[in-house]
Structure 1
Amino acid sequence: MADTQTPHPKYKRVMLKISGEALMGDQGYGLHPPTVQRIAQEVKSVHDLGVEICMVIGGGNIFRGLQGSAQGMERTTADYMGMLATVMNALAMQSALEEQGVFTRVISAIRMDEVAEPYIRRRAVRHLEKKRVCVFAGGTGNPYFTTDTAAALRANEMNCEAILMGKNGVDGIYDKDPRTNSDAKRYDAVTYDEVLQKNLKVMDASAIALARDNSLPIIVFSLDEPGGFRGILAGDGTYTKVHGGSKAGAGEAA
């Protein structure tokens, strides 16, 4: 792990995107408080470097709109239910971060003034400038858009320098699922177009396109590795970078 006195983190403002499933630990459903606290500690360690942090958390540990739709529920209703699940996760993360002394704001795309601030871009930017962690909830506020797209959208609006995708069980992008294929190879770097052409399933296509069109790098790393998030900001760690360079920049790890 890098020295805690690292004075110059790689990025000054980042978006951390994690799935709702990342919060459920080994339970298979819902929130696992020790897991939420562990992730909050990872966020705090980066915050202590002086990095300004945005977060978007999925809702799949509670309700996933696509699954509800597949089971016969009207798609728009199912998606709104999924958005509400992201608010629950955001509030849990806010509580865990504030227990560790990190000032945090939950900002919802769906108005619910009693529990979260409404999304106002300039206000959110001001929170970041004051070194508050901003957890964006409620997706984009519209059905048919995933939290991946919400993360790419908010990252661009907040002028983040990178999106960091914290994954469970994998430490980057592979040519096939490494959990079921022992011969899977990890990429050190890939281009946005390669992700789309090879269907590498990093984020959904609209999120990748939004990042590509604004030259916003995406860094995929393991959320399970202690210190992994901080390590990347300190210039260390194992990850895959999605960028707009030539294909010559893409390689497989040794």
Structure 2
Amino acid sequence: MAGEVMDNRGRGEARSSLPSVHPEGRKYALICLGLSLISALLAWETLAWPLAFLSLCILAFFRDPERVVPRGDALILSPADGTVTQISEVEPPLELRGEEGGLGHEPVTRISIYLSIFDVHINRSPCAGTVGTMSYVPGKFVNAELDKSSEENERQHIIIMRSDGVAVGMTQIAGLVARRIVPFVKPGDIVAAGQRVGLIRFGSRVDLYLPQGTSPQVLMGQRVIAGETVLGRLGETVELEGLQQ
């Protein structure tokens, strides 16, 4: 019917709905809920209610909402929900350089996104392509907002090779509370832009490395959404200017 409001999948009238919960978090929520029920049966109400509340918090943390991914071969999308805390020119990490199929040794723009415990922690591919190098590095758990967390914390580096041969790099970094990085993909997998590629448990940071000749399309302090917010357009070097308000 002409003029009918459709959802982003063309399935009738658009409406809001609760996001699903990723399976990685369901087991923790069920454990807390089970302990809450046992505590209630034993009349330990001072323990039962906090455990019940904790189970709800876990479900909220592992929520996995659907995203509307913008189309465009030149778009580089945000890999994470959160706040842009750093935009800087840096040499790529050793694990992302690569002799072939890497970012090389020349400085590139790094956009750092900090995820608080209230943000969605499912990470998504910044572009379509093939998963190249994946390098896990064990490390510390210092505050993910600090610049040194890129070199000292537990982290996982991922290269996405576009069909045109351009490499886009991202790094999942565990934070002060985070204790595990969970990948959903492996080298050789073909991914779509905005596809889920992993998660980080309980507070973290994700760094995105733009290809050379590409300027950031976001500002410091800006909130971004994984799979939806455009961080850069390949080959576009127009710098944004603005004030945080």
TM over 0.5: no
Q: Which has the larger radius of gyration?
A: 2
What TM-score do the two structures reach when normalised by structure 2? 0.25
